[in-house]
């Protein structure tokens, strides 16, 4: 029919529209019965039972035992800021985020590397300063100090023999300076390479004294790593940082 007829049709009057809505459109949504709620709850519970379980993450401060950790699949989070070595002036220093997602094994691996580099650097600083002071082994009086010593040893037969001896020492030191897993001995801490054979009064110290000694070694090793790097860098630059303006290798 024409549009005007439709608009004027009585069935489209306000009364008819209201009657139509009351007849065909419910005034409010139907309410769920208690039985339906119970059925939905049961379905939700059964679905949750088959949902993949998430691994729990707890702090080591909770004190879960190793058996509980293995049985429940707990992922422990260690607060590395409370570990030995977090001390002034830097505190907990991890600018590269190496421990952001790391566990205790990662921390122990990095700590072992730090201790080893620190010990080598302490020896390097000592050797650098001793030779700069003019002290030499018998027969090596003509060997210069600093980086120039390497080329001087390569230029002589005796010097090459000394380099071979140094290489042999490095190999042996790398072999023996580690936790001997084949021995019936357990290291007291990371970096403890005594293997039950060497003890210069360490076992007689108290626990607090041991922690203090270990902290001192870490700080000295860190200072030595920066120290040897600074000494070599200044020698290459030709700028002395030693007393009296002495410059090794020049």
Cα separation values, 129 from 15, 45, 162, 218, Å: 107, 73, 20, 21
Band (pLDDT 50/70/90 cuts) for residue 3 is very low
Residue with tokens 């590397």: 113
Give the residue from 126, 125, 122, 127 showing the smallest Cα distance to 140.
127
pLDDT of residue 74: 55
Answer whether 205's CB lies under 8 Å from 213's CB: yes
Q: Which is more confidently placed, 186 or 111? A: 111
Q: How far is CA 69 from CA 50, 65, 102, 105, 189, in A?
A: 22, 6, 17, 16, 22
Q: Is residue 104 exposed (0-12), middle (13-18) or buried (19+ Cβ within 10 Å)?
A: middle
pLDDT at 249 over 80: yes
Lowest mean pLDDT among 76-90, 174-188, 208-222: 174-188
Distance CA 44, CA 63 (A): 34
CA distance 2 to 72: 76
Percent of the chain surpassing pLDDT 70: 69
Q: What is the pLDDT of residues 140-182, one digit of tens each?
A: 889 999 999 999 999 999 899 999 999 999 999 888 887 777 7
- Asked if 227 contacts 113 with a C-beta cutoff of 8 angstroms, the reply is no
pLDDT tens-place string over residues 5-59 = 444 444 445 555 545 445 444 444 444 454 454 445 544 444 433 333 333 333 4
- Total-model pTM: 0.66
Most confident segment among 121-125, 188-192, 246-250: 121-125
Mean pLDDT of 198-205: 84
């Amino acid at each position: 029919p024409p549009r005007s007829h439709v608009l004027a049709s009585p069935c489209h009057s306000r009364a008819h529209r209201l009657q139509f809505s009351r007849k065909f459109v419910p005034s409010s949504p139907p309410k769920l019965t208690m039985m339906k709620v119970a059925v939905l709850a049961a379905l939700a519970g059964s679905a949750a039972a088959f949902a993949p379980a998430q691994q729990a993450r707890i702090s080591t401060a909770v004190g879960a035992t190793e058996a509980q950790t293995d049985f429940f699949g707990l992922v422990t989070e260690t607060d590395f800021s409370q570990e030995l070595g977090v001390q002034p002036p830097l505190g907990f220093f991890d600018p590269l985020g190496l421990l952001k997602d790391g566990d205790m094994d990662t921390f122990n691996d990095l700590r072992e590397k730090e201790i080893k580099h620190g010990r080598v650097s302490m020896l390097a600083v000592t050797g650098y300063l001793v030779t700069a002071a003019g002290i030499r082994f018998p027969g090596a009086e003509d060997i210069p100090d600093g980086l120039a010593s390497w080329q001087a040893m390569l230029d002589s037969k005796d010097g090459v023999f000394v380099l071979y001896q140094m290489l042999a020492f490095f190999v042996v030191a790398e072999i023996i300076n580690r936790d001997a897993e084949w021995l019936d001995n357990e290291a007291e801490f990371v970096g403890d390479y005594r293997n039950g054979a060497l003890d210069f009064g360490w076992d007689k110290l108290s626990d607090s004294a041991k922690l203090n000694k270990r902290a001192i070694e870490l700080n000295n090793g860190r200072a030595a790593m920066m120290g040897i790097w600074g000494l070599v860098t200044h020698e290459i630059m030709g700028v002395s940082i030693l007393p009296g303006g002495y410059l090794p290798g020049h």
